[in-house]
């Protein structure tokens, strides 16, 4: 009787190990698939930088909505809350980082009527936000304007 119980525990242990191994393989495959999808999306958008940021203000999204942020030389694409927002680089006035309580990435742009508007993201801990600002500042602009925030 004791041997039967020991064999049952060994079989159950082996089943658990096999299940954990299968779950680990499945998780790794899912990560690889998401990585490939992100790489393809970046390529399709000609994105130089992709990062994930929390929306603070300026878009019709709730505060702290997690957004995928794609920066390219000709546009910014923001995906969050089931919506996609495209902002042409010709409308962008400035991209800056503000640090008061936390680090915020702020995009100043002209709307369709030439009125300045702002989009703000919590960029705390995002080194890619610094890269976005650096790339934007290096880009030649025909009419560079600055707006005091």
CA distance 106 to 97: 6
* Interval 4-59: pLDDT, tens: 787 877 888 778 877 777 666 766 666 777 788 878 888 888 899 999 999 999 99
Any idea where the domains of the chain sit in the sequence?
Answer: 1-45, 47-138
Fold adopted by 47-138: PH-domain like (2.30.29)
Query: What pLDDT does 11 receive?
Result: 85
Please give the torsion angle defined by the CA atoms of residues 57, 121, 47 and 136, in that order, rounded to the nearest 10 degrees: 100
Q: What confidence tens digit (pLDDT) does each residue in 28-38 have?
A: 666 777 788 87
Model-level pTM? 0.73
């Amino acid at each position: 009787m004791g041997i039967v119980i020991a064999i049952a525990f060994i079989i159950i242990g082996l089943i658990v190990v096999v299940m954990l191994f299968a779950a680990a393989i499945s998780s790794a495959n899912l990560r690889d698939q998401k990585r490939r999808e992100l790489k393809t999306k970046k390529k399709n958008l000609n994105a130089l930088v992709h990062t994930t940021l929390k929306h603070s203000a300026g878009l019709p999204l709730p505060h702290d909505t997690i957004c995928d942020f794609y920066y390219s030389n000709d546009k910014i694409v923001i995906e969050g809350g089931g919506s996609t927002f495209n902002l042409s680089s010709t409308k962008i006035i400035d991209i800056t980082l503000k640090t008061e309580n936390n680090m915020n990435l702020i995009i100043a742009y002209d709307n369709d009527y030439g009125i300045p508007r702002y989009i703000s993201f919590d960029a705390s801990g995002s080194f890619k936000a610094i890269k976005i600002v650096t790339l934007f500042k290096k880009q030649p602009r025909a009419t560079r304007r600055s707006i005091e925030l």
